[in-house]
Amino acid sequence: MGALAEHYRASRVSERLLLTGHSHQAWPDVARDAQLEAFDDAAALLDEKWSRAFAKAERVRQGWLRLLGDDGSGVVTLADSTHTLLVRLLSAWDWGTRPRIVTTDGEFHSARRQLARLEEGFIDVVRVPAEPVETLAERLAAEVDDDTGLVLVSKVLFGTAHVVPHLAALAAAARRHGTVLVVDAYHAVGALDWSLADDDLHDAYVLGGGYKYLQHGEGVCAMRWPRGTTLRPYVTGWFAEFADLSAAPAGAVGFGDGPERFAGSTYDPTSHYRAARVLDFFDEHRLTPARLREVSVHQVGRLAAGVAALDVDPGVLAVAVPDPAERAGFLALRTPHAAALQAALLERGVLTDHRGDVLRLGPAPYLRDDQLDEAVALLGECLRSRPAG
């Protein structure tokens, strides 16, 4: 995949050791062209630009449906963040009659914080330990009851890249109790060759974004939801009735079955121009979910093999998810020195990040094997030079 680097010249990916691909992959150079196209349309058309902007948004929505392997049963609403979409969804539920949420202690901060704040008010939040991941779905399913309004779980845990199996069992439990199932797929889409059918999620609400593995940049997040839902969000913007404002009678709030049901208000469409062009770029270079997964398994596996060859005391540094089949798009290394190692690697020109006691190494398809090897060698240098103790 090293030849792909020529399409990322602005980010100089062939010269740099960029191992934050699980957080922010470099944009291909065509993204700049798309941003200029958005400017040119706005300059030439002013308020008439929206027909072109909406066409870009539709391209992005269709791209998300395809990435998820949707069978036609779903609709996608776009927003600037998954938090925005989650809030709109949370506002649609009757919490007076079903005031209970079941989730895990391993969810991303936007959900963790929002649920904690709701818990201070009127929601009962049940947090199931994420470990052991092998039984997580079953343990979540056991907590779902008739008082549970919503259950929220990640397909891939953001801290360790651990893939959560057996979500079909959780989906069945949610279905039995009339509970909304929300799956955070941010670390799955673009990192796994995975579809909704694999976990029987045809009636689930699936959140994701393009900031990481899809190279869409900021402001491109999506919620796939089951067509025909009757949920009516209290948090709703005027774009939800943009198609025909004249048909909106005073005092009545209507919702359709299209993507406008969970829509907000006026937004910056530049991100959708960029995402639409990057989706085309991925198509042109055959960066399908299957191909991206093949590359990811190779790259993360090469990093893991290099770390193993360092022969470090497991108490100092250990691979968090040893089985390649159980990890997604990055290598998580448990170490009490995560913050110090990240800083030391940055001094040596290696970009990584950490979450608590986990150092995260995230490759991307434009990196060469020798770049991965060099990064691991520099990690070994950091380990050898760290203070004793």
pLDDT tens-digit profile of 304-352? 999 999 999 999 999 999 999 999 999 999 999 999 999 999 999 999 9
At residue 207, φ and ψ (nearest 5 deg) are: -100, 145
At 3-62, the pLDDT tens digits run: 899 999 999 999 999 999 999 999 999 999 999 999 999 999 999 999 999 999 999 999
Q: State the pLDDT at residue 167.
A: 98
What does 43-110 look like in DSSP terms, one character per residue? HHHGGGGHHHHHHHHHHHHHHHHHHTT--SSEEEEEES-HHHHHHHHHTTS-TTT--EEEEETT--HH
Is there a contact between 316 and 335 (Cβ–Cβ < 8 Å)?
A: yes
Q: How far apart are CA 42 and CA 35, in angstroms?
A: 11
CA distance 103 to 112: 9
**Confidence (pLDDT) at 254:** 83
Contact between 153 and 104 under an 8 Å Cβ cutoff? The reply is yes
Structural domains in the chain, CATH included, are 2-26+287-385 (3.90.1150.10), 30-282 (3.40.640.10)
pLDDT digits (tens, 9 = 90+) for 78-126: 999 999 999 999 999 888 899 999 999 999 999 999 999 999 998 999 9
Q: Say whether pTM exceeds 0.75.
A: yes
Q: Which residues pair with 362 in a beta bridge?
A: 20
Q: Quick one: 389 exposed, middle or buried, by C-beta within 10 A (0-12, 13-18, 19+)?
A: exposed
The answer to whether residue 387 scores a pLDDT higher than 80 is no
Report, as an integer, the average pLDDT of 173-177.
97
- The Cα–Cα gap between 19 and 275 comes to 22
Tokens encoding 254: 């209507």
- 276: pLDDT strictly greater than 70: yes
Q: Please enumerate in sequence order all residues whose Cβ is within 8 A of that of 276, keeping only pairs 6 or more positions apart, or say none.
A: 34, 56, 59, 60, 63
- The pLDDT of residue 257 is 79
